[in-house]
Amino acid sequence: MIVVIPTAREICLDFLDHLIAYGAEFLIIDDTPGSIRINHPQFHVYNWNDRKNIMGEFMEAIPKGNGACAMVHAETWASI
């Protein structure tokens, strides 16, 4: 199993325990200025510019700064 984590700000291994134990491999597409660092054999961090080499024509599947997270966050809080 491969898990892609796009535009992550922080990786919290505690939340991923079950997937780590299952043996999943994690690909992190880092859109920060290189601030994502993780020392774990199942995690691989790629910078934003690597996404074209990795995803080819599908690179638009991981947008940068489109506001989607902010909209989901606002809708979540509005429903509480």
pLDDT in tens, 20-57: 999 999 988 887 777 788 889 999 988 877 777 777 88
Compute the residue count for the chain.
80
Identity at 77, one-letter amino acid code: W
Nearest to 26 by CA among 61, 70, 12: 12
Distance CA 10, CA 35 (A): 9
Whole-structure pTM value: 0.63
Q: What percent of the chain has pLDDT over 70?
A: 71
Q: In this predicted model, which residue has the larger pLDDT, 70 or 6?
A: 6
